[in-house]
Amino acid sequence: MFVSFAEESLVVREPEKWELHFRLNTCTICGHYLHDNKCPTVGCNCAEGVGRVYITNKSEGEFNVLFVTKLDDKALLPTCSHPGEDLGFDVFALEDVEVGPHAVTKVRTGISAQYAPWGDQSDWCGKERYGLIVKDRSSVAASGLFTVAGVIDASYTGEIIIMFRNVSQVILDVKAGQKIAQLVPTLVRTACRIKNVDVLPYGTRGYAGFGSTGK
């Protein structure tokens, strides 16, 4: 099914509750829902269904939503420069922080977040759950700061803290409002049985480990 992909939009549902929407099946210009891939708005330039088109298996009218709660007034919402193309959401530092040489330091974001592909927090039962993986931003890593311990479980609702290791020989500054890391939604696959077996059944590598495929 072909659907239109609209611009990122913010919707306030209740105080301090924000939703970062990536609307599917909506007009990229006026935001109305498409009918037969055509905008019903009179005079809209996309009346012939012109716009950025993507293939999706989502049902009509559903959303992909990153639910975000601002835990501090100074916190900034995550952003995505190229929705539908970028793998992660950029997150921002809440405060100025110094990271010493070879030190590991926590940096606050002032937000909590959960990703829901169905776009509804009311009923999580029986639906696919997504956690978030914290990954480096290339510009930050190039300075010598690398993220560590970046697993955010699907049920975690506390503040997202970015832990940095400084691999350089100098003090590195993180500034408030700076993009510092990415949150990558990851499907949870741990709802399974753990089984003890004598031999793992698949694979041609076998016991061959470090360096076994050459240099």
Domains and CATH numbers, the chain: 74-110+138-191 (2.70.40.10)
* Residue 129 confidence (pLDDT): 87
Model confidence pTM above 0.75: no
Segments in the chain below pLDDT 50 = 1-24, 47-62
What spatial distance separates the first Cα and last Cα of the chain, rounded to whole Å?
Answer: 45
101: number of CA atoms within 13 Å, CB side?
Answer: 3
Residue 59 tokens read as 């049902």
Q: How far apart are CA 110 and CA 176, in angstroms?
A: 11
* Residue 31 confidence (pLDDT): 52
* Residue 119 confidence (pLDDT): 61
Q: Strands (DSSP E) along the chain, which ranges?
A: 2-4, 9-14, 17-23, 53-55, 63-70, 89-92, 97-99, 104-108, 111-116, 130-136, 145-148, 151-152, 161-166, 172-174, 179-187
Residue 164 tokens read as 């940095």
Q: How far apart are CA 77 and CA 113, in angstroms?
A: 10
**141, exposed or middle or buried, with CB in 10 Å at 0-12, 13-18, 19+?**
middle
Q: How far apart are CA 107 and CA 95, in angstroms?
A: 8
* Residue 8 confidence (pLDDT): 37
* Residue 207 confidence (pLDDT): 76
